[in-house]
Amino acid sequence: MAGHATAGLEEKIYFVTGSTDGIGKHTAEKLARLGSRVLVHGRSAEKAETAANDIRAATGSDKVEAFSADLSSLRQTRQLAEDVKKQHPHIDVLINNAGVFATKKQLTEDGFELTWAVNVLAPFLLTALLYSHVRERIVNVSSISAGSKLDFDNLQAEKRFSDHGTYSLSKIAMQAFTKELAERKPASQGPTVNCLDPGTVNTKMLNLGWGPCGMNLRDANHELFLATDPSVKDAHGEYFVSNRKYSMSKQVYEADVRRRLWKMLEEQTGQQFP
């Protein structure tokens, strides 16, 4: 990894959501190999513990902890934040990696469309609840597949559902959330926040939505780079593709659009940032 230095990573705590398989698990394992304490998250306690055990066995690290919550549930997302805070007075880096690609419209227990709930509401809520506890960096996962427009009349697939359209909409929302958080919270007041395209990687999600058209999982190190590399420690409110700064969707640069989305996310989650 270009410019990468492992010094000091043994002291750090990384929390990676959605880390029972795919890029999340790969990133968590890489962090464990670097000697960091890693908080692994899965939808169920069984999945989280299995992944944590896999990572412990693969790395020889005893600094891997399992946490569980179904991120489609606001209640369980809140409980996850409480569980992390109970175990750790601080974390160094939060990686909002968890995501879904839904092939049909489904509503959560809170009445939200599933993709929106997991890919947007959960990271907004979790980040708000943990913001004061994160020392260094927040990494949000967007995608090269991010849409060009936030259709405020169809955020919950109210008018129509399309698997790719709904997913793309959630990923431009993550860009807008990242940019607006950086505008509201300068890096001098808290952790840096950036988002990235994690790479086109042959994961379950990619195969489901696009077929196996990506790179091998072992090469998927963009999340690791943005979470650890000293060369990007001062980046704030940026979007990275292949470890380089990249332009976000054009609409993300419109402050009124970002503020409208932010207000909506506050209302839908019932949560404000500290």
Residue 2 forms part of a structural domain? no
Question: What is residue 212's predicted lDDT score, i.e. its pLDDT?
Answer: 53
DSSP string, 154-196: STTSSS---HHHHHHHHHHHHHHHHHHHHHHS-GGGS-EEEEE
Question: What is residue 153's predicted lDDT score, i.e. its pLDDT?
Answer: 95
Given a contact cutoff of 8 angstroms between Cβ atoms, the answer to whether 72 and 99 are in contact is no
> 49: domain range?
10-269
Element (H, E) at 90: none
Taking 3-state DSSP, the helix, strand and coil percentages for the chain, each rounded to the nearest 5, stand at 45, 15, 35
Of 65, 27, 62, 72, nearest to 48 by C-alpha is 65
Residue 4 forms part of a structural domain? no
Residue 1 forms part of a structural domain? no
Question: What is residue 4's predicted lDDT score, i.e. its pLDDT?
Answer: 46
* Radius of gyration of the chain measured on its C-alpha atoms: 17
Question: What is residue 8's predicted lDDT score, i.e. its pLDDT?
Answer: 76
Reported as a single tens digit per residue, the pLDDT across 33-51 is 999 999 999 999 999 999 9
Reported as a single tens digit per residue, the pLDDT across 264-273 is 999 999 999 9
For the chain, percent of residues with pLDDT exceeding 90: 87
Q: What is the dihedral of CA 170, 274, 258, 137, to 10 degrees?
A: -60
Task: Give the mean model confidence (pLDDT) for residues 249-253.
Answer: 97
CATH number at residue 214: 3.40.50.720
Number of domains in the chain: 1
Question: What is residue 217's predicted lDDT score, i.e. its pLDDT?
Answer: 55
Angle at CA 145, nearest 5°, toward 139 and 151?
A: 95
Instruction: Quote the CA–CA distance of 233 and 239 in Å, as a whole number.
Output: 14
The beta strand positions in the chain, using DSSP E, are 13-16, 37-42, 64-68, 91-96, 134-141, 192-197, 239-241, 244-246
Cα torsion 80, 176, 213, 116: sign: positive
The yes-or-no verdict on residue 81 having pLDDT over 70 is yes
Of 60, 57, 53, nearest to 19 by C-alpha is 53
Residue 99 forms part of a structural domain? yes
The yes-or-no verdict on residue 204 having pLDDT over 70 is no
Instruction: Quote the CA–CA distance of 141 and 227 in Å, as a whole number.
Output: 11
Reported as a single tens digit per residue, the pLDDT across 147-200 is 999 999 999 999 999 999 999 999 999 999 999 999 999 999 999 999 999 976
Residue 274 forms part of a structural domain? no
Does the pTM surpass 0.85? The reply is: yes
Given a contact cutoff of 8 angstroms between Cβ atoms, the answer to whether 142 and 169 are in contact is no
Residue 3 forms part of a structural domain? no
Instruction: Quote the CA–CA distance of 76 and 19 in Å, as a whole number.
Output: 17
Band (214; pLDDT cuts 50, 70, 90): low
Residue 5 forms part of a structural domain? no
Q: Which of 4-13, 72-81, 132-141, 247-256 has the lowest mean pLDDT?
A: 4-13
